[in-house]
Structure 1
Amino acid sequence: MDPDLVLADWAGRRITVEIDRPLGTRHPREDDMVYPVNYGFVPGTLAPDGHPMDVYVLDGSEPLERCEATVIAIVRRRDDVEDKLVAVLDPGFAWDSAAITTAVDFQERYFDSWIELP
């Protein structure tokens, strides 16, 4: 878990996300894992793993290369050094913890994680 990542600093913030694992693509190391959401990073940031901060972009039905999205939550990992931002293209749709958990379960099932909402 990243103690320096504070939800209040990110919630509601519009961010640019570079998508490096578009919706429908396979994980680079886990061939049986297909991304059901667009997954990328925030350029210019630095997470505890030494790479830019990762982001799940939950809504959207098309694979993206880059997008503007609004942060709605953080996936906190008790057993990893980095947490993940959760963002949406349409901030008008309300996501609850259960819906976010379902959307990110394809990857988070391998970690002891929980959803932090504003």
Structure 2
Amino acid sequence: MFNHKKVTVKIDRPLGTFHPEHKDLYYPINYGYIEGLIAEDGEEQDAYVLGVNKPVETFSGVLIAIIHRIDDVEDKWVVVPDNMHFSISEIEEKVNFQEKYFQHTIDIFD
């Protein structure tokens, strides 16, 4: 259903910035949300953008994986440029700055 779905991410925490409330949480990747798509937590669906090595305001790409948080109500989507692939271990490495605080699994789409 979601396999390689094209989505646009509105970036509210660009690469190189810090979390607005947790000042020690640095974002080494772009992070944002899918406008108009409401997630389990009642907020717009959060997404990590991988494969873009500069801060951006928006990004259109493909959904390649979903991070399911076991001890939280929200999942995180992983969005990348067309024709770019990441393994589960590569995704884990890129999102560890934030996901290390949660038990989670990663479903990757082949």
1:64 to 17, 39, 56: 56
2:39 is aligned to 47
Query: What pairs up with 1:79-90 in 2 under 5 angstroms?
Result: 79-89=71-81
Give the whole-Å Cα distance in 2 for the aligned partners of 1:80 and 1:38. Answer: 21
| Structure 1 unmatched ranges of 5 or more | 1-8
1:21 to 2, 9, 13: 13
The RMSD of aligned alpha carbons is 0.9
| Structure 2 unmatched ranges of 5 or more | none
Q: State TM-score, norm by structure 2.
A: 0.95
Q: State TM-score, norm by structure 1.
A: 0.89
Number of equivalences: 109
DSSP 3-state at the match of 1:53: strand
DSSP 3-state at the match of 2:31: strand
Runs of 4+ in structure 1 off by over 6 angstroms are none
Compute the displacement of 1:82 (Å). Answer: 0.8
Give the whole-Å Cα distance in 2 for the aligned partners of 1:52 and 1:67. Answer: 16
1:95 to 80, 86, 101: 86
1:112 is aligned to 103
Compute the displacement of 1:52 (Å). Answer: 0.4
Compute the displacement of 1:113 (Å). Answer: 0.9
Q: Deviations over 1:56-92 (max 9, x none)?
A: 0011111010110110000011000110110102x32
Alignment pair present for 1:30 and 2:19? no
Contact 2:11–2:32 under 8 Å retained in 1: yes
